Structure 1
Amino acid sequence: MTKGTETRTRIMDIAEAAVLAKGFDATSIDEIVAAAEITKGGFFYHFPDKNALARALIERYIETENKLFDDLWARARELNEDPLHAALIGLKLLAEMLEDMPNGHPGCIIASAAYQDRLFDAEVREMNRRAVLGWRTRFRPIFDEIAAIYQPREDVDLDALSDFVNTVVEGGLVMGKALSQPHMICGQIMLLRSYIRLLFEPRLQ
């Protein structure tokens, strides 16, 4: 890793921690510069403005999140090839991973940007919109595969169900932070898992 890459990464690490702690609006370039021990010129060399920083943070967050879910679902499919049971295993693995974080999940850059979208240009807002829809893009094929084998017990919009996964995870993070119960998200994910099981698993005769 070059010195320039190291500096860019350090800036992003410092900025991400500050944004997750208090939001984009309350995070100043001056405090990032001071924490990174660089000049303002050094900051602007890597990020011309706050929009550029936000784009970089969102891109990195998406890459990290995609890798996490790719790994979890690949592991789940190794454990069970059936799409329903693999999805249930994947959600349990996600809950267990979050439970193992001593201080809970630090938060979501995507959500932080969405809460304060007035700060950003159209490109950042569109990037954030695509990131949110990325959950639907990921989970809709999973639910399509399940529904092709298991008839849902009630009519369900699979796009809405895919969005529901994101709603539960993001909502769990917000609730956990508001109540100072960082691991409550794990229970929310397990409730979602129970709902999906009840929705698709055949009734016993």
Structure 2
Amino acid sequence: MKEKIDTRTRILDIAEAAVLEKGFEATSIEEIVAGAEISRGGFFYHFKDKNALARAMLERYIEVENALYDDLFARARELNDDPLHCMLIGLKLLAEMLEEMPTGHPGCVIASTAYQDRLFDEGVRNLNRQAILGWRKRFRGMFEDISELYEPREPVNLDALGDMVSGVVEGGLVLQRALREHNNASEQIMLFRTYLKLLFAPR
């Protein structure tokens, strides 16, 4: 049983690296099979098709990202239980984590799937949507707590502000890859952090 689990994980690792490098459409089952050193039958034992592979990759990526956010903002709350300062600390921790990656963040499976959603069934597209809505809900809740103590200086849609966290992080990763500037994502996060400080600055 352990061998099967290891093989499945190896397939997911190889597929994720290839997809983040060149996208789902350009990633073939044949190259994944070759990289994992298994037969095509071995691949189809674990995943019946590329939709099943994409779903498993998304589920794993979402789990990792949620655990990352849980950890970062739990650490932030240990340092300061004020909701605004907790958010600011969490964003700084996220920016520092990205900056410390020696070769930069590899990219986002969510974004790769969204860009080529025509390749997938409704289940994969819905999983992608639910992941983004989950992050919206997470950050909107944090901004609601902030708004109870700090009135925003300008009217703001908290759903859109929650989405902005994902938009800044993912957009920063796209810029970083396109421009080959290692710190671009972390710098975008720190600019967003400054915006939040100004938005919620006490009157």
Which interval holds the TM-score relative to the shorter structure? over 0.9
Structure 1: which 4+ aligned runs deviate by more than 6 Å? none
1:150-177 Cα offsets, whole Å, 9 max, x none, are 0100100000100111111111011111
CA distance in structure 1 between the aligned counterparts of 2:14 and 2:154, rounded to whole angstroms: 47
Residue number in structure 2 paired with 1:145: 145
1:164-193 Cα offsets, whole Å, 9 max, x none, are 111111110111111111321110000000
Q: Quick one: structure 1 residues 28 and 64, their matched pair in 2 at CA, closer, same or farther if it must change by over 3 Å?
A: same
Unaligned runs of 5+ in 2: none
Residue number in structure 2 paired with 1:171: 171
1:46-125 alignment runs, 5 A limit: 46-125=46-125
Does residue 158 of structure 1 match 2:153? no
For the residue of structure 1 that corresponds to 2:152, the secondary structure is: coil
Task: Give the conservation status (yes or no) of the 8 Å contact 1:173–1:182.
Answer: no
1:177-188 alignment runs, 5 A limit: 177-188=177-188
Residue number in structure 2 paired with 1:126: 126
C-alpha root-mean-square deviation of aligned residues, in Å? 0.8
Does residue 202 of structure 1 match 2:202? yes
For the residue of structure 2 that corresponds to 1:48, the secondary structure is: coil
Does residue 26 of structure 1 match 2:26? yes
CA distance in structure 1 between the aligned counterparts of 2:3 and 2:44, rounded to whole angstroms: 16
Offset of 1:132 from its aligned partner? 1.4
Offset of 1:64 from its aligned partner? 0.2
CA distance in structure 1 between the aligned counterparts of 2:113 and 2:168, rounded to whole angstroms: 18
Partner amino acid, structure 2, of 1:55: R
Unaligned runs of 5+ in 1: none
Structure 2 length-normalised TM: 0.99
Aligned length: 203
Offset of 1:134 from its aligned partner? 1.7
Offset of 1:45 from its aligned partner? 0.3
Identity %: 69
Residue number in structure 2 paired with 1:9: 9
CA distance in structure 1 between the aligned counterparts of 2:193 and 2:183, rounded to whole angstroms: 16
Partner amino acid, structure 1, of 2:136: R
Partner amino acid, structure 2, of 1:20: L
Offset of 1:111 from its aligned partner? 0.2
> Which sits farther off after the overlay, 68-77 or 130-139?
130-139
Structure 1 length-normalised TM: 0.98
Residue number in structure 2 paired with 1:189: 189
